Structure 1
């Protein structure tokens, strides 16, 4: 069996350090926020080439609180893309603002700046470009459009730890960014976790209050806040993993290069890394019009795969009330029917990839000759 992701392999590679960090937290009894979280926040802010990082309980909360810190609320509109995990849209819904969608660039699966500009109305308050699969959205035109219309840009960087655009790190280009540390992410906690990153002292102050019941000091509730703090145990684990994030990123990129080389000349539609971007390959996503059959055949051969994501937001039953219809976002809809994620993680070996590539290439040949 070739797993889609192997969390045990990573844990065993740093087991002694992680176990020691967890035991230290247990001994300290600093279970919520605390010194380990504070240390991690400093490391992660620096890694993102930014000023502030505020740990929260998950990536969805990061997006939600970032929007609230930026003043988004009822009567406002926030634009994002349909081809994403539902959290990108849900975070907007939680603020009471209206979700507005625009289509993706089919080459990168990220926000199409031309479609973005067409979606702006007088009520638009913010934009959430999603850095999908490990590659950042086309941020320069997005930021220019935002500046032209006076809009806040919140990077959904849940899949983009360490990704770069024109030499700038994910989390340092927009006004705010939201990260996830879900276990399977490039930087994963031992459970749930997330962070908001920003260069704004005021946004940082508001997020710190919002994650902790809206209080600047205990029992002094300045804002209507939430219980969304990062646990001390997760801060301790993430602090250890910060030592290895770049090593693991380069291992992912090397694995992606091996896949690219193995699929060269086969006709398999592989990910496209744009010249001005550093792709960190949270996922290695190919495309095929016969995805169901391919996934079934690969499963039979002991190769696990994933689909990210089969249903665009506007076609989900939960978001029917947005009023969009099938056909309005053709690139997102087509991607949803064709994308297939192959095994991808730092410890993936060349032999394992060769087995995957051989099976996928055989399926591609059968598709061509059918």
Structure 2
């Protein structure tokens, strides 16, 4: 974070703390990463999702198809738009939505396909883009965890309307923040209006909006991080490779893979503990915690499997057996760029000890 100090001090000395020139610099950098004509900075990844859906002018009765294996922000954004959400199951190889099963959920009310690129690896946006074209649907990418990821050379955020998070835990952080990327000038214009109380200029209200602005201070932190994205991504990739090599060959332990044509940016390194493993997921987590190694479960339940969503008129739960099984198997191990090689080796050693391997 010390890299952010010069840019933050530049903002403080300018006296312009709210959305201003530093936000514009962040937007230009994000458009370059996503390979899009437009990037619009907002104050969270959730806002990026919500404003993107609002820009598509969804109405009650319209439907959005997304993954059941995601953070609640994905679902909450659809509900806030007034649309109804349906779910298609995921593929175990990359934890992302299965395009073949998405097609089975499409009906005459479907307006948007909302794939989530989980853990730093893109969903099959090529197949989803083709499916959307056949049915005349919009694509909104939840790329909160996938900044810098690519599929067949195309960046995350370039297949439809891209939505990124700059939250504290993300590969690039501004502390809080989000970005919408798109080649659609009309969508970008609507998002810019919505984020600033619907004003095209001061007191010139073009539509109903809100306050979803990103401050120049947050943008300064984010811009300093963007400058190191390639360095961070390379280190995460090295750590993931070291983990996979060290954990290879353990019965019942499935290490994550990078699918063909993809650049994985390793927001999370997530293993699966299946029936053949020497211990359960929870036992492995407890053993690692006893060694001072933090782990995470992203996510412990299907996104719609909570009381607040059961019976909700805008949530159509469905049978998603792959996602349901994986919620009890997954465990994310440390992979962040601050890890040293000896620390990664210690994670491997502690995991192999717990797994009696």
TM tier, smaller:
over 0.9
Residue 258 of structure 2: which of 273, 276, 297 is its match?
273
Q: Distance in 2 between matches of 1:88 and 1:217?
A: 31
Q: Distance in 1 between matches of 2:95 and 2:101?
A: 13
Residue 315 of structure 1: which of 305, 315, 337 is its match?
305
Q: Deviations over 1:103-150 (max 9, x none)?
A: 101111001011100011111110110000000001111111101110
Q: Secondary structure of the residue that 2:76 maps to in structure 1? A: helix
Q: Secondary structure of the residue that 1:304 maps to in structure 2? A: coil
Asked whether 1:142 is paired with 2:132, we answer no
1:85-104 equivalence runs, <5 A: 85-104=71-90
Residue 70 of structure 1: which of 25, 42, 56 is its match?
56
Q: Distance in 1 between matches of 2:74 and 2:38?
A: 22
What residue is the counterpart of 1:7 in the other structure?
none
Moved over 3 A (4+): 322-325
Q: Secondary structure of the residue that 1:55 maps to in structure 2? A: strand
Q: Deviations over 1:245-267 (max 9, x none)?
A: 11111111111111111112223
Residue 338 of structure 1: which of 329, 333, 343 is its match?
329
1:117-132 equivalence runs, <5 A: 117-132=103-118
Residue 306 of structure 1: which of 275, 282, 296 is its match?
296
Q: Any conservation in 1 of the 2:64–2:114 contact (CA below 8 Å)?
A: yes
What residue is the counterpart of 2:188 in the other structure?
204
Give the Å deviation of 1:102.
Answer: 1.0
Give the Å deviation of 1:25.
Answer: 1.2
Give the Å deviation of 1:20.
Answer: 2.0
Q: Distance in 1 between matches of 2:199 and 2:76?
A: 25
Q: Deviations over 1:256-290 (max 9, x none)?
A: 11111111222331101101100100000011151
What residue is the counterpart of 1:56 in the other structure?
42
Give the Å deviation of 1:365.
Answer: 3.0
Unaligned runs of 5+ in 1: 1-10
Q: Distance in 2 between matches of 1:130 and 1:58?
A: 16
What residue is the counterpart of 2:277 in the other structure?
none
Q: Which structure's residues are more often helix, by fraction? A: 1
> What is the Cα-based RMSD across aligned positions, in Å?
1.3
1:1-370 equivalence runs, <5 A: 11=1, 15=2, 17-173=3-159, 175-189=160-174, 191-267=175-251, 268-289=253-274, 290-322=280-312, 328-365=319-356
Q: Distance in 1 between matches of 2:353 and 2:103?
A: 42
Give the Å deviation of 1:29.
Answer: 2.3
Q: Under a length normalisation based on structure 1, what TM-score does the superposition of the two structures give?
A: 0.92
Q: Secondary structure of the residue that 1:54 maps to in structure 2? A: strand
Q: Under a length normalisation based on structure 2, what TM-score does the superposition of the two structures give?
A: 0.95
Unaligned runs of 5+ in 2: 275-279
Q: Deviations over 1:13-68 (max 9, x none)?
A: xx1x3122212212222222100000110011011111111000000000000111
Give the Å deviation of 1:324.
Answer: 5.5
Q: Secondary structure of the residue that 1:192 maps to in structure 2? A: coil
